[in-house]
Amino acid sequence: MPNIAPVGRAEEKGGRRRSTALRPVLIAIALAGCASGGGTGAAAAPTTAIAPPTLPALTGVFTPSSLTSKEIAPGVAHVEMAIPGGPWLVHIVAISPAAREVELRSVKGLDHVVGRERPSEMARRTALAEHRTLLAAVNADFFNFTPPGVSEGPQVSDGRVVKSEDRNRAARADTVLRDQPVFGVAANGRPFFADAHLEGGVRIANGATLTLLRVNRAANRDSLTLYDGFMGDTTPSDSGVTELVLRTVHAAAMAGDTATAVVESVDNATAGVRIPIDGAVLALPSRMAGEGTGAASGALAAGDTVRWWTPFTGAPPRVRELVGGYPMLLRDGRRVFEDTKAIISGFSVTQHPRTAVATRADGTLIIMAVDGRSEASKGMSLTRLTDFLVALGAVNALNLDGGGSTVMLVRDSIVNHPTDKEGERAVANALVVLGGS
């Protein structure tokens, strides 16, 4: 897989604060290549043309009747194919590992945990805010309609945890979350696929360490809950928690790093409290707070120091960005979808529009959308989607939200055929591909 590294920030890294304006929420990542260079006083070395990736010849049921490939940036191709064996209409954005100034971002709808937005809108505002060229975008994770736009999986944005994963899985017959596949980028720039769960901790003033499993989700009795600007202006109302209003003095650069804050106030009222722009709120269940006498009593005073960290088990220790999907289809060249149990057949066996992200052994990144629910394109089952990705040479692949959510934007145009009667659906988050300024 290619190295992925940040380039060309339009805002200062240290200023990661909530804004009232809509803005992109994930750090830029670039598929790293070798930059051309030149010494002082000498002409720069000539730039070598970067060819877009080529796809292997497809045969059998995947033999296309038509195929067009268009370079949309150096090292980036948009491939459109019609396959009569389905029939299927497929759109692919393929990014070479040698592509320069190509950035992939995960953007949260409306920059809030609760909030839906069309991927095209997320993509356009992201490109505009960063003064970069919009190359492509697709919808990303599954989400709830009530409350609207809350993703099933976790998300990390610019090193910040937007939210932790939920406990239920709508695609499963028993709805129990057992695995949480993700696509992400580590702090060292390496992309990864993993089964990842938030497993953090909080160290309070008396030296006790408490479990932190929930970020920007409704508090429960099993763990502390951390709220920040992605949650909104205030915390949810809850009579069973003690809320510490925190002022951040050292923000974590990446998910997994340690943040430090000072307690500004303590609130035991049932109403929610305001989340400070330059801080967070830590909700402690009553059993942990001990009502002033338990293990957390040393953190229940203004002026005390609190530290917390938010690593994901199964993922690299430090994560720059991360988005969920379900299920994992390929891992290190092995088909793993068939190992997934209790998936509802209407989700897995029935043909639907599909969105997926994958990598090939040569480091090529593939983002794809398959149309469905029409005479021109029936959609794919998850088994057929896996077969198709194998035919493309993928070795790692994750299924993203599909059905009426499936959409692909190339440049400034939607190239596939969303199936909702209103057209493009507002969703939880999106993967956005940006080019140079």
Q: What residues have CB less than 8 Å from 306, skipping those under 6 apart? A: 202, 203, 204, 205, 244, 246, 260, 261, 262, 263, 282, 299
| Amino acid identity at 429 | N
CA distance linking residue 359 with residue 357, whole number of Å = 7
Contact 67, 392 (CB under 8 A): no
For 222-233, give the DSSP string. SSEEEE-GGG-S
Residue from 212, 351, 202 nearest 263 by CA: 202
Q: Which amino acid is at 285?
A: P
E-assigned strands of 363-415? 365-370, 394-400, 408-410, 413-414
Q: Which residue bears the tokens 């990736």? A: 53
Q: Taking the mean position of all CA atoms in its chain, how far away is CA 60?
A: 34
pLDDT string in tens for the chain (437-residue length): 444 444 333 333 333 333 333 333 333 334 433 333 333 344 444 446 899 999 999 999 999 999 999 999 999 999 999 999 999 999 999 999 999 888 888 899 999 999 999 999 999 999 999 999 999 999 999 999 999 999 999 999 878 899 999 888 999 999 988 899 999 888 887 788 999 999 999 999 888 999 999 999 988 877 899 999 999 999 998 878 899 999 999 999 999 999 999 999 999 888 899 999 999 999 998 766 654 434 565 557 899 999 999 999 999 999 988 999 999 999 999 999 988 888 999 999 999 999 999 999 999 999 999 999 999 999 999 999 999 999 999 999 999 999 999 999 999 999 999 999 999 999 999 999 999 98
Please tell me the pTM assigned to this model.
Answer: 0.88
Angstrom CA distances, 152 to 30, 155, 199, 397, stand at 26, 10, 17, 18
CB 407 within 8 A of CB 139: yes
Question: CA-CA distance, 48 to 79, in Å (whole number)?
Answer: 23
- Please name which of 28, 78, 159 lies closest in space to residue 415, comparing C-alpha atoms: 78
How far apart CA 333 and CA 355 sit, in angstroms, is: 19
Q: Quick one: pLDDT at residue 289?
A: 60
In this prediction, residue 328 carries a pLDDT of: 97
